[in-house]
Amino acid sequence: MNKILYVCSEAFPLIKTGGLADVAGSLPAALLSKSQDVRLVLPAYPEVLSKIKKQKIIAKSQYYMQSVNIIETKLPGTKVITWLIDCPAAFNRPGGPYTDQHGDEWHDNAFRYTILCHAAVDLSLNRLSINWQPNLVHCNDWQTGLVPALLSLYINSPKTIFTIHNIAYQGNFDQQMFNDLHLPKELWHMHGVEYYGKFSFMKAGIAYANKITTVSPNYAKEILTDEFGYGLSGLLNHRKDDLSGIVNGIDEKHWNPGTDELIVQKYNQQSLPQKVINKTALQKELKLANSKKTPLIGMVSRLVEQKGLNLILEHIETIISNNKVQFVILGAGNFHYEMLLCELAEKYPKQLSVTIGYNEALAHQIEAASDLFLMPSTFEPCGLNQLYSLRYGTLPIVTPVGGLVDTVIPATSENIQNNTANGFMLEGDNLVETIEHALSLYQQAKTWKQLQLTAMKAHFTWKNVAGHYIQLYDSLKSS
Ligand code: ADP
């Protein structure tokens, strides 16, 4: 059994901005179910505090003259012991975890997440009189990158794993910030936290962790290249032997069309024809033309360049004007994309519905209602939405990048023949042609059903995923 301190900046259902929260909300519970002793560490944002029931302060500390309480609770819906780092100066404010109400990064993010890291280090070293010491510390994304760096300065500190969920967000700050935070000077060098004269949290994690993982084998390969490595491919190549990729799972409690309470009509592989009831209900709800036969393409996404918004905006009118298809889009992000999509929805109200905002229930309804799911990302570390789509028999249309390659098998005639096809993959930027191909297969009911059933059979369970992480953890025990 391992004793694992799992450190991250968001975890579903307490706080979520993206896929990281889904992972942190599921993996610790799956590890627990496989007899690992795991504790989750998370900042006590106001939203988090408002959602927890039982809580008690189990330790106190102080960083940068700010008092910090360690609050113990359980991750709702699980037995995972969760330690919240309650430092009001850093985390108690309105807005998102990383950005203010206007979407601008908090000016003091380096300070905020250094506090999270200091607290995690103290917990790792059992310095807060809690009487529990991990043998492994699993850190996630840049917000936790200083943990492996700081722990490297101690003899006999726990081994560390650093998981990259998205290398594009690195937490880079000025050197002055490093000095102001009084971080140990011995970390400041080109093999440490220094990154072209800047101070980089992400680089710290990669440089100092004992093992580095990312969320799909294909992304693990891609980040070794200049194109996808965002300036860190050199260091990653240097650490290649310690780098691996493990595809995420999905939370079957929340994402299962057979039990999903948020959708109008539950269905499974046997009752697949009932899926269409979700489509007509959503068409009605969103005031799209009511038609069982018209293929519906869904999209639930952060509206940022990474998610292929430029490509979509370039071609969506061509696709819509063929009058053969409907789109339903849910997302929030870049104001420019939000505005352009809303303008298009006004122009084509019967064919295109755009909802700006974050809406968990609607996300489920879109997965259940749609025939196809659009995800033409420019890069995609793992991607969860294509996994949900597969589970819901909603065939994903994806680009050949990152985890999309590891999980979507394109409907070529050969793959259809072999019963392995479960979606569609662009070649270059042939979005229009790929959608045309999908729509032509949609007209072949038997083939379509076969594709859907193959998709629904794919099982990305957290239990399996946890097994892979445990193998990695165990390999660190013997090293
Ligand atoms: P990323 O982490 O890059 O945003 P993923 O596909 O890995 O992309 O995960 C996105 C997660 O966030 C999914 O669970 C998806 O359903 C959810 N999501 C994204 N945007 C919204 C939204 N506007 N409303 C509801 N859920 C959303």
DSSP code at position 394: -
Which residues have CB under 6 Å of ligand 1?
18-19, 22, 300-302, 330-332, 358-360, 363, 382-385
- Written as one letter, the residue type at 197 is G
Which of the following CATH numbers is that of domain 272-457: 3.30.1370.140, 3.40.50.2000, 1.10.1520.10, 3.30.300.210?
A: 3.40.50.2000
Provide the sign of the torsion angle of the four alpha carbons 399, 404, 405, 408, taken in this order.
negative
Look at residue 54 in the predicted model and tell me its pLDDT: 87
Residue of 165, 328, 355, 384 with the most ligand 1 atoms within 8 Å of its CB, for mutation: 384
Residue 297 neighbours by CB under 8 Å, 6+ apart: 325, 326, 327, 328, 370, 371, 372, 373, 374, 397, 435
Give me the DSSP letters along 64-124.
TTEEEEEEEEE-TTS--EEEEEE-HHHH-SSS-SSB-TTSPBPTTHHHHHHHHHHHHHHHH
The Å distance, Cα 354 to ligand 1 centre, comes to 16
The Å distance, Cα 358 to ligand 1 centre, comes to 9
Residue 322's pLDDT band, with cuts at 50, 70 and 90, is confident
Q: What is the mean pLDDT of the chain?
A: 96
pLDDT in tens, 398-432: 999 999 999 999 999 999 999 999 999 999 999 99
Q: What is the mean pLDDT of residues 446-463?
A: 95
Q: For ligand 1, atom 24, which residue shows the shortest CA distance? A: 358
Residue of 260, 385, 388, 462 with the most ligand 1 atoms within 8 Å of its CB, for mutation: 385
Q: For ligand 1, atom 22, which residue shows the shortest CA distance? A: 358
Q: Do domains 3-249+462-477 and 272-457 have the same CATH topology?
A: yes
Q: Which helix (H) or strand (E) holds 387?
A: helix 385-391
| Domains in the chain: boundaries | 3-249+462-477, 272-457
Residue 364's pLDDT band, with cuts at 50, 70 and 90, is very high
Model's pTM, two decimal places? 0.92
| Closest approach atom of ligand 1 to CA 363 | 25
Q: Give the tokens for residue 318.
A: 């061509």
Fold of 3-249+462-477: Rossmann fold (3.40.50)
Look at residue 458 in the predicted model and tell me its pLDDT: 83
Backbone phi, psi, residue 389, to 5°: -60, -45
pLDDT in tens, 59-101: 999 999 999 999 999 999 999 999 999 999 999 999 999 999 8
- Written as one letter, the residue type at 371 is D
Place of tokens 């946890």: 466
The Å distance, Cα 101 to ligand 1 centre, comes to 19
The separation between CA 76 and the C-alpha centre of its own chain, rounded to angstroms, equals 19
Q: Give the tokens for residue 182.
A: 């009084």
The Å distance, Cα 146 to ligand 1 centre, comes to 26
Is the pLDDT at 37 greater than 90, yes or no?
yes
Residue 253's pLDDT band, with cuts at 50, 70 and 90, is confident
Contact, 244 vs 210, CB < 8 A?
no
The Å distance, Cα 212 to ligand 1 centre, comes to 24
| Closest approach atom of ligand 1 to CA 20 | 2
pLDDT in tens, 211-242: 999 999 999 999 999 999 999 999 999 999 99
Look at residue 102 in the predicted model and tell me its pLDDT: 84
Residue 127 neighbours by CB under 8 Å, 6+ apart: none
Is the pLDDT at 136 greater than 70, yes or no?
yes
Contact, 307 vs 383, CB < 8 A?
no
Residue 416 neighbours by CB under 8 Å, 6+ apart: 447, 450, 451
Pairwise CA distance, residues 98 & 214, whole Å:
21
Look at residue 478 in the predicted model and tell me its pLDDT: 66
| Closest approach atom of ligand 1 to CA 355 | 23
Look at residue 479 in the predicted model and tell me its pLDDT: 66
The Å distance, Cα 357 to ligand 1 centre, comes to 11
Residue 374's pLDDT band, with cuts at 50, 70 and 90, is very high
Is the pLDDT at 252 greater than 90, yes or no?
no
The Å distance, Cα 353 to ligand 1 centre, comes to 18
Residue of 302, 398, 406 with the most ligand 1 atoms within 8 Å of its CB, for mutation: 302
| Closest approach atom of ligand 1 to CA 19 | 2
